[in-house]
Amino acid sequence: MQFTRIFNDDQGKSHFGDLTIDVRDGGPIGFLSERFPAGEMIFRETPSDYDFKWHPAPQRQLLFIIKGRCEFKVSSGETRQFGAGDVVLLEDTEGEGHCSKALFNEVRHSIFVTVPEYVTF
């Protein structure tokens, strides 16, 4: 299983990266990863005109997009678009951060799950 991460380097610049979570045969219920500790859950509705300029993530967190589409931009100017079913690990908690905006005049529904610093994927 693969998803995107946004992280910052030693100079405080943000970058995209890709993570792969290993899954193993769990029998008739499908394939499962190992268990990972998590913190709090936050449900969010983002307006259709959302356009938030440079900001770091408030804490290390997984973003699960339920409805709507958005675009993230990192320090290099690279952009990626995400929609329902996508997961993004936001780790750029210091430095320049990223930009995020709504696409196609759509309201976005998402869930944030905070992730302790000691957890490695």
pLDDT score for 103:
97
Q: Across the 121 residues of the chain, what is the mean pLDDT of every consecutive 10-residue run? A: 96 97 96 96 98 97 98 98 98 97 97 96 89
Please report whether residue 8 resides in a domain.
yes
Asked whether residue 119 is assigned to any structural domain, the reply reads no
In the chain the first and final C-alpha atoms are separated, in Å, by 11
Query: Is residue 51 domain-resident?
Result: yes
Q: CA dihedral in degrees (31, 83, 68, 44; nearest 10)?
A: 60
- The predicted pLDDT at position 65 comes to 98
Tally of domains within the chain: 1
Q: Under the phi-then-psi rule, with left for phi > 0, alpha for psi from -120 to 50, and beta for the rest, what region is 10?
A: alpha
Tell me the residue range of the domain where 109 lies: 2-114
**pTM, rounded to two decimals:** 0.94
